[in-house]
Chains A and B, each alone.
Chain A
Amino acid sequence: MENKPKLKVAAYWGAACGGCSVSMLDVHEKLFDILALADFVFWPIILDTKYHDVEEMPDEHIDVTLFNGAVRNSENEEMAKLLRKKSKILVAYGSCAHMGGIPGLANFFSKEEIFKRVYLENESTFNPDGTVPQPVCEVPEGKLEIPVFYNDVLTLNQVVDVDYYLPGCPPQTERFLEVFMAIATGAELPPKGSVVGARDKSQCDECERKRTDNKLVKKFYRPWEIYDDGESCFLEQGVICMGPSTRSGCGVRCIKGNAPCRGCYGPPPDVIDPGAKMMSAIATMIDAKESDDIKKIIEDIVDPTGTFYRFSLPAAILRKKSIYEEKY
């Protein structure tokens, strides 16, 4: 046991909020168990290792890399590629790396639109000369380079080959631990490409709310529009809940907190596009036959994309808004 070499672990974040890192740090005292089994060779938010240190590592030097966050700019991509090269196992950690996550909703807009909004139109920004970031700019001191901001938000597996996906926004610390321990203790690993730290069955399986087969909806509500009775199925109350097409594993946290599931844990196996699946299902629940009545009911689904693709837009079949938007 003693002479067994420690696991070399790296963690990195791309376009992320930091929640994932926090979810890892939430292990609390379990940290000791981890450190007993593993050395962190690269983890920018807690270690002062530099990119070039990674570059200098031999290929496949790292045993496991936990990559969280989506790929948004050249730096993210570069690092993803680098870490892929240097690691035996690359895990897409959290919704952003898995399906694009919240940042993925930026795929609604082109780079130009985003810059315009953020640097020029933003009410709290004072930018009289209308400066926008340039990849390269000359300053008296010399040439400054910053990463190139891409037009799209990409999932990790859209730029590099990914071994496992650990879904969640953020992944539940327990799930992280389970997975980590499994890898560390050299337990038998599932086939490459599988989702770990989540169950095949979706939320409802764990959900304790009362369900009937009566899923006919006359009006859709957004969570704050109704008094949730706290016990009957959200869908049956007319609140869109992504639970049915979202893996369980989080311990139905949101629902337990009386908020409908938003789908951060991603689709069950065989579902290519959870948003579409859910749309399909929700539509069949509409309790009307005349187009106009149906339209009226649908009006209450204010933002279909935001609702059904909150965490998965970049991974969806239509992973972004058509850049050649059609006027009508």
Chain B
Amino acid sequence: MEDKRIGVYICWCGTNIALMVDVEKVTREMAKIPDVVISRDYKYMCSDPGQDLIIKDIKENNLTRIVVASCSPRMHELTFRKALKKAGLNPYYFEMANIREQDSWVHTDRHEATKKAEALILAAINRVRYHEALDSRKVEIDPATLIIGGGITGITAALEIAGSGEKVYLIEQSDKLGGLAAGLDLTFPYLYSAVQMLRTLVRKVNTDPDIKIFLNSQVEEIKGYIGNFEAQISSAEGKETKLKFGNIIVATGLKTFDPSGMENYGYGKFPDVITSTEFEKMLQDGLIQKKNGTEPENIAIIHCVGSRNKNYHEYCSRICCSTALKFANQVRSQLPKANIFELYADMRAFGKGCEEFYASTSRKNIKFLMFDQENELPRVMESEKSDRCDMLIELNEKLSGKAVLVPADLIILMVGLEARQDVKHVAHATGLSICGNQFYIEKHPKLDPVATTTYGVFIAGACQAPKDIPESVSQAKAAAARILSTIARGSVEVEATTSCVNEEICCGCQTCIRICPYSAISFLEDKKVSFVNEILCKGCGTCGSGCPTGAIKCKHFTDVQIFSEIEGLLNMSYSMEEIKEA
């Protein structure tokens, strides 16, 4: 075994780490560890000068292993691996200690935090000793792309990709393209017609030779990996199609919240309590009227139905406020005499032109009444004959602190957005993770919002979180651009941390074969041993811990690596115990 020359680099992250961890002390301590040739601290390791520092040291002091203690590896592991590569060192001769997200940011006792940092770094040093050189593999990219979801996001992405002559498969569950946008009349804040907008887009998609559309269809399961996916598409008529493609865009969007569960709004009980979706339909048909066909005199628009409320969804659905303002405008122009009430919890008219839209709307004698999500929500009640209106809304008006009654003949519930029922199915098929709100999780919330942790799978539009049309469209184009760039390159590098079988040891018990979720392991009848297809393997390591002979090695997560990590973490904490006793 070649001698280990380890370089340890500890990041201040400005004050983020240095405030809670005594970086200089840790640096000194680490220098004492055997095999550690260099131990440095630096303001921002991830910065270019920071990386150059490492590269320089590797070259000058021919370091063979690098440990960086800074933020989460989920943040910068790749950054530093690249640096190692630059320096001509195998990128996997690197280990990271997370002393920011899991130390300096979460602890309040500087001494303790410093001790913890030492333990974490020691563990990393221990571990990196046993790291082995791995080479990341290149895989060819199938230029076709699968887009799940034929909403405005999916359509835009499809057009974008097909626009540069690449094949696109567009899967839509329903019988027509357009998604939620297809249900809209006008769009806020400039009151363009959504219908017209979509019509042109859909026409383009339908006529584009590079786009193959599957209506009433859904993805059964997706096999493979970036560049070489393979999927089973089944249509409502039970027609099965096999597709091959290199990348996936998930643009499944969201569905509107069903208010039937909220008895206080009496949806379903009162005929003239309708959802925003139903009202859009009404507007598309061009006539605002009650179920009995007469014209409503008092129209109440209730915001945040199912949104920003602990009992339903805590998040803000983002589109409802501006839509409600749009409604107010449309009602005002159709029924100049009508009394219009907006019952809102908070007016969130963010985004270009929307605050102005709110201001102009508020000057059209529209009553903005605030309710309190914490307190009782507004309650719709039957009215007396004497009230001269069909319904009354009981409301604790927040700004005045008065309990009041709001007359209403037509009540529009601004229903929020929520995950579709099949979100889990799609997540499993595509290997995406779902957050607490059942939205797909992006790779990085700020720096990489359309990529996901699964290579070759991108998310765009509302399925990642509620979004309005411009946001969805720009995400669609972003995702498309990402894919086009990989197609242009023709191949991509993928992780090397897979499993492999030591044929000298494997006894062919075949325990591992069913363990693998990607059926990457097969049994070689001739040799009587198991074999891992490293292209299919995604490196979860479950087979390794299921193998009774120790024949399966999980690269980069080997027993000995983890053992040494454990020793590092605990011995340090033991010496701490002794310190305490002393």
Chain A residues in contact with chain B, CB under 8 A? 200-205, 211-216, 233, 235, 243-245, 248, 267-272, 277-278, 280-281, 284-285
Say yes or no: A215-B511 contact (C-beta < 8 A), given A277-B548, A281-B548: yes
Which of A202, A211, A272 is in CB contact (< 8 Å) with B510? A211
Q: Complex formed: what's the CA distance from A284 to B545 in Å?
A: 9
Say yes or no: A213-B549 contact (C-beta < 8 A), given A269-B505, A284-B515, A284-B542: no
Q: Complex formed: what's the CA distance from A244 to B545 in Å?
A: 13
- Provide the B305-330 mask, 1 if CB < 8 A to any CB of A, else 0: 00000000000000000000000000
Q: Is the CB of A271 within 8 A of B507?
A: no
- Provide the B185-198 mask, 1 if CB < 8 A to any CB of A, else 0: 00000000000000
Say yes or no: A200-B550 contact (C-beta < 8 A), given A213-B510, A243-B509: no
Q: 28 interchain pairs (CB within 8 A)?
A: A201-B506, A202-B505, A202-B507, A203-B507, A205-B507, A205-B508, A211-B508, A211-B510, A215-B511, A216-B514, A235-B509, A235-B511, A243-B509, A244-B507, A244-B509, A245-B549, A245-B550, A267-B550, A268-B507, A268-B550, A270-B559, A277-B547, A277-B548, A278-B548, A280-B545, A280-B548, A281-B546, A284-B515
- Please indicate the chain A residues that have their CB under 8 angstroms from the CB of B528 in the complex: 205
Say yes or no: A201-B514 contact (C-beta < 8 A), given A268-B550, A277-B550, A278-B548: no
Say yes or no: A270-B550 contact (C-beta < 8 A), given A205-B507, A244-B509: yes
A235, A243, A284: residue with the most chain B Cβ atoms closer than 10 Å: A284
Say yes or no: A212-B515 contact (C-beta < 8 A), given A244-B548, A277-B548, A280-B545: no
* Minimum C-beta distance from A217 to chain B (A): 11
* Minimum C-beta distance from A216 to chain B (A): 7
* Minimum C-beta distance from B56 to chain A (A): 38
Is B581 an interface residue when CB atoms closer than 8 A count as contact?
Answer: no
Closest 5 A/B residue pairs (Cβ): A213-B513, A244-B548, A281-B548, A284-B546, A204-B507
Is B130 an interface residue when CB atoms closer than 8 A count as contact?
Answer: no
Please name the residue on chain B nearest to A267 by beta carbon.
B550
- Please indicate the chain B residues that have their CB under 8 angstroms from the CB of A278 in the complex: 548
Please name the residue on chain B nearest to A236 by beta carbon.
B510
Q: Is the CB of B505 within 8 A of A285?
A: no
Q: Is the CB of A215 within 8 A of B514?
A: yes
Q: Complex formed: what's the CA distance from A13 to B564 in Å?
A: 36
Which of A201, A203, A244 is in CB contact (< 8 Å) with B511? A244
Is B44 an interface residue when CB atoms closer than 8 A count as contact?
Answer: no
Say yes or no: A244-B542 contact (C-beta < 8 A), given A201-B507, A211-B508, A215-B514: no
Q: Complex formed: what's the CA distance from A216 to B559 in Å?
A: 25
Say yes or no: A245-B548 contact (C-beta < 8 A), given A202-B507, A216-B514: yes
Interchain Cβ contacts within 8 Å, total number: 79
* Minimum C-beta distance from B498 to chain A (A): 18
Q: Is the CB of B505 within 8 A of A270?
A: yes
Is B523 an interface residue when CB atoms closer than 8 A count as contact?
Answer: yes
Is B109 an interface residue when CB atoms closer than 8 A count as contact?
Answer: no
**A-facing residues in B532-560 (Cβ within 8 Å):** 542, 545-551, 559
Please name the residue on chain B nearest to A242 by beta carbon.
B548
- Please indicate the chain A residues that have their CB under 8 angstroms from the CB of B542 in the complex: 284
Q: Is the CB of B509 within 8 A of A211?
A: yes
* Minimum C-beta distance from B513 to chain A (A): 4
Q: Complex formed: what's the CA distance from A211 to B504 in Å?
A: 19
Q: Complex formed: what's the CA distance from A272 to B564 in Å?
A: 14
Q: Is the CB of A204 within 8 A of B505?
A: no
Q: Is the CB of B507 within 8 A of A285?
A: no
Q: Complex formed: what's the CA distance from A279 to B123 in Å?
A: 26
Q: Complex formed: what's the CA distance from A278 to B550 in Å?
A: 10
- Please indicate the chain B residues that have their CB under 8 angstroms from the CB of A248 in the complex: 507
* Minimum C-beta distance from A185 to chain B (A): 26
Please name the residue on chain B nearest to A284 by beta carbon.
B546
* Minimum C-beta distance from B172 to chain A (A): 33
- Please indicate the chain B residues that have their CB under 8 angstroms from the CB of A205 in the complex: 507-508, 528
Q: Is the CB of B509 within 8 A of A201?
A: no
Q: Is the CB of A284 within 8 A of B511?
A: yes
- Please indicate the chain B residues that have their CB under 8 angstroms from the CB of A270 in the complex: 505, 550, 559
- Please indicate the chain A residues that have their CB under 8 angstroms from the CB of B548 in the complex: 202, 244-245, 277-278, 280-281
Q: Is the CB of B546 within 8 A of A280?
A: yes
Q: Is the CB of B547 within 8 A of A281?
A: yes
Say yes or no: A268-B514 contact (C-beta < 8 A), given A200-B505, A201-B507: no
* Minimum C-beta distance from A279 to chain B (A): 9
* Minimum C-beta distance from A4 to chain B (A): 36
Q: Complex formed: what's the CA distance from A117 to B509 in Å?
A: 41
Please name the residue on chain A nearest to B521 by beta carbon.
A213
Q: Is the CB of A212 within 8 A of B510?
A: yes
Q: Complex formed: what's the CA distance from A204 to B548 in Å?
A: 11
Q: Is the CB of A285 within 8 A of B511?
A: yes
Given A213-B514, A284-B546, 19 new contacts (CB under 8 A) = A200-B505, A201-B505, A203-B507, A204-B507, A204-B508, A211-B509, A212-B510, A214-B514, A215-B509, A215-B514, A243-B509, A244-B511, A245-B550, A268-B505, A268-B550, A270-B559, A271-B550, A280-B545, A280-B548
- Please indicate the chain B residues that have their CB under 8 angstroms from the CB of A285 in the complex: 511
Q: Is the CB of B504 within 8 A of A200?
A: yes
Q: Complex formed: what's the CA distance from A277 to B551 in Å?
A: 11
Say yes or no: A281-B511 contact (C-beta < 8 A), given A244-B549, A245-B549: yes
* Minimum C-beta distance from A282 to chain B (A): 8
Q: Complex formed: what's the CA distance from A284 to B523 in Å?
A: 18
Q: Complex formed: what's the CA distance from A174 to B508 in Å?
A: 25
Q: Is the CB of B549 within 8 A of A268?
A: yes
- Please indicate the chain A residues that have their CB under 8 angstroms from the CB of B504 in the complex: 200-201
* Minimum C-beta distance from A161 to chain B (A): 23
- Please indicate the chain B residues that have their CB under 8 angstroms from the CB of A216 in the complex: 514
Q: Complex formed: what's the CA distance from A200 to B505 in Å?
A: 6
- Please indicate the chain B residues that have their CB under 8 angstroms from the CB of A201 in the complex: 504-507, 549
Q: Complex formed: what's the CA distance from A202 to B510 in Å?
A: 13
Q: Complex formed: what's the CA distance from A281 to B547 in Å?
A: 6
* Minimum C-beta distance from A243 to chain B (A): 7
Q: Complex formed: what's the CA distance from A278 to B548 in Å?
A: 5
Q: Complex formed: what's the CA distance from A269 to B549 in Å?
A: 8
Q: Complex formed: what's the CA distance from A211 to B508 in Å?
A: 9
Please name the residue on chain A nearest to B506 by beta carbon.
A201
Q: Complex formed: what's the CA distance from A272 to B566 in Å?
A: 15
- Please indicate the chain A residues that have their CB under 8 angstroms from the CB of B547 in the complex: 277, 281
